[in-house]
Structure 1
Amino acid sequence: MSATTDATEAAGTAQAVPAASGTARRRADLSRLRELSLLPAILVLGLIGFIVSPAFLTSDNLIGVAQQSTELSLLVLAEALILIVGRMDLSLESTIGVAPVIAVWLVLPGSGGRFTGLGLFPESAAIPLCLAVGALIGAVNGFLILKLRLNGFIVTLGALTMLRGLQIAISEGQSIVEMPASFSYLGRAAWLGVPAAIWICALLFAIGGSALAWLRHGRALYAIGGNPEAARTAGIRVDRITWIVLIIGGLLAAFAGVLYSGHYGSISADQGSGWIFQVFAATVIGGVSLNGGRGTLFGALTGVLTLQLVVNVMTLAGVPPLWNQFLNGAIIIVALIISRFASGEKQE
């Protein structure tokens, strides 16, 4: 009787292993499918854009779309990494504004012009200072969330509001038009006929994607986002890696502020305001899970391109830009519905 029972259990185990393997394989295939799911949409948008206006497929228009996508792409890159690790950072939209404001405030001379700076550092230190501010914001958020165990959503929402107020206070509620030369160069330079910002953005996405795919610490982000307790059991330093990801997010947001300020030649008092909605729209439709542990940077990048192409096609078609915010919200809701049914998760 015991031998019969053991044989039955062994047979059941033998059947369960292939079944589990098959399930994992199907999930992996589904993940790859979701990563590429926006490519047909991008092609359709390209066809619609060409029908609406032959100018859509010109190099000037396409490079312009890519140029306008760079700053948003860096915020999406930052948010995608943070979401994959199972966290959320709303303060990125304030970091893109307050970091360059503080950097310019510290390097501009103390007199002359509409904006009065402190002039404590040479102009060549503007970019390092801007990045340092972004890293500091991410580090403080990480301390409050990981060490004091405060709610991450509330912490970053409070940081968003506080940093926005600091940005307005330092800039005195006006646009800063005196830019350091390093800001202007990165924002307006062209390498091989293509804006430098596009090359930089592509390089950062390639580095991030390669790290997630091939490096042990990169793969750890998925483990932490999927099940942090299991990740701790496996020897992964969950809090340290999560803290580093939050700091990297702040760095990327600050660098996006450098590119944006240099591109437009000024820093407005409300720079970055409302961007977080576009960031989440792009990441969600790109297949990055709000619950952590799923998504790719390539998918997030296609989400950015989809949003920007929609805006570009609407502009060429003469649709008022007032509809953009409505469209972004609708895209988020539709993407959540598609993600819910495509994931195969059962409703509890």
Structure 2
Amino acid sequence: MILGAFTNDSFLTERNIISILGASAALAMVVLAESLVLISGKFDLSLESVVGIAPALGALFVLPAAQAGFGTELPVAVGLLCIMLVGAGIGAVNGLLVVKLKLNAFIVTLAMLIILRGLLVGATEGKTLFGMPEAFFTLATSTFLTVPASVWLAGAAFGITGLLLKYHRWGRALYAIGGNQQAARAAGIRVDRVLLGVFITAGVLAAVGGLIQTGYVGAINSNQGENMIFTVFAAAVIGGISLDGGKGSMLGALTGVLLLGVVQNLLTLAQVSSFWIQAIYGGIILLALMIARVTTGRAQD
């Protein structure tokens, strides 16, 4: 923030700060989803594809055939509900494969990422979807006290989740499972049920993130969410979410999101080419890991 203030006079203006928050809202929802999965000791790489496929299917059910839709022309409310159900359904499939069949979470969700990416391209026929009802854009376009509704929603989601993790037995169970699944099971925690619920919740949150992204962009293309998972993991790691499970906080994860949002905005104001942003994100991750290693004095497994 200090660097930004010296780099560009418009950086600390109210308009630019709101712009950073609005641009970070979709990412925040997906980071929240991934953070819950990581705390439980698992991975979910498919969340970036959920960001694309969930709102796309909702739009295709609503749009007429003349606008590349399925021609069903379902009511808008049903289309929005479909977005949430698609996210929940994908999360449930991931959860069943990982929890019940005991398959490797990394490989399962990587395969699901590829499957869903292919389904998105096939369903949209590689086209960009336009002309969705205004309700698909409401979260990104409507404001309260000049701040987009998507920002308020993301803030509320992080706040509520943070309280649940700290004070509710579900949150304590999640940390226990991520720390030592066998010990958690021996303590009477219903590990399978909690993990399945985490995957479903993550799918729904990613679907909401996709809806926010749709409103922010104003359309849905066949590569929506592509490569987003790298930024999601960057924000989570920078925010102190442990890849080993059982550690991390929502405040830390939110800090990671905002740091990346500020960095991207600063680079844009400094007229740095977007091609360099991913490389800079990687450097930030390495720097964050080294700082954590020095400050904690503990080796990182």
TM-score past 0.5 threshold: yes
The match for 1:47 is 2
Q: Secondary structure of 1:290's match?
A: coil
The match for 1:43 is none
C-alpha distance in structure 2 between counterparts of 1:293 and 1:228, whole Å: 10
Q: CA deviation at 1:344?
A: 4.0
User: Which of residues 162, 167, 183 in structure 1 aligns to 2:115?
Assistant: 162
State how 1:208-287 maps to structure 2 within 5 Å. Answer: 208-287=161-240
Aligned 8 A contact 2:241 2:249 in 1: yes
The match for 2:256 is 303
Aligned 8 A contact 2:293 2:299 in 1: no
Q: Secondary structure of 1:55's match?
A: coil
Aligned 8 A contact 2:177 2:191 in 1: yes
C-alpha distance in structure 2 between counterparts of 1:318 and 1:108, whole Å: 38
Aligned 8 A contact 1:277 1:328 in 2: no
The match for 1:106 is 61
Structure 1, residues 212-254: CA drift from partner, whole Å, max 9, x if none?
A: 0110111111100000111011100111101100100000000
Answer yes or no: is 1:92 the counterpart of 2:83: no
C-alpha distance in structure 1 between counterparts of 2:300 and 2:250, whole Å: 27
Alignment: residue pair count? 301
Q: CA deviation at 1:315?
A: 1.4
C-alpha distance in structure 2 between counterparts of 1:320 and 1:346, whole Å: 36
Q: CA deviation at 1:342?
A: 4.1
C-alpha distance in structure 2 between counterparts of 1:340 and 1:116, whole Å: 51
- Over the matched positions of the two proteins, sequence identity in percent amounts to 47
The match for 1:312 is 265
Q: CA deviation at 1:256?
A: 0.7
User: Which of residues 93, 102, 108 in structure 2 aligns to 1:140?
Assistant: 93
Normalized against structure 1, the TM-score is what? 0.84
User: Which of residues 36, 52, 68 in structure 2 aligns to 1:81?
Assistant: 36
C-alpha distance in structure 2 between counterparts of 1:171 and 1:228, whole Å: 41
C-alpha distance in structure 1 between counterparts of 2:106 and 2:298, whole Å: 24
C-alpha distance in structure 2 between counterparts of 1:55 and 1:244, whole Å: 43
Structure 2 residue ranges without an equivalent (≥5): none
C-alpha distance in structure 2 between counterparts of 1:55 and 1:346, whole Å: 41
Q: 1:347 to 1:266 in 2, by over 3 A?
A: closer
Aligned 8 A contact 2:52 2:120 in 1: yes
Amino acid at match of 1:124: A
User: Which of residues 109, 131, 144 in structure 2 aligns to 1:178?
Assistant: 131
User: Which of residues 11, 15, 23 in structure 2 aligns to 1:56?
Assistant: 11
Q: 1:64 to 1:347 in 2, by over 3 A?
A: closer
Structure 1, residues 181-208: CA drift from partner, whole Å, max 9, x if none?
A: 2112222111122111111111111110
Aligned 8 A contact 2:22 2:140 in 1: no
Q: Secondary structure of 1:80's match?
A: helix
Normalized against structure 2, the TM-score is what? 0.96
Aligned 8 A contact 1:96 1:254 in 2: yes
Q: CA deviation at 1:117?
A: 2.1
Q: CA deviation at 1:50?
A: 1.1
Query: Over aligned residues, Cα RMSD in angstroms?
Result: 1.4
Aligned 8 A contact 2:59 2:69 in 1: no
C-alpha distance in structure 2 between counterparts of 1:238 and 1:196, whole Å: 35
The match for 1:199 is 152
Q: CA deviation at 1:134?
A: 0.2
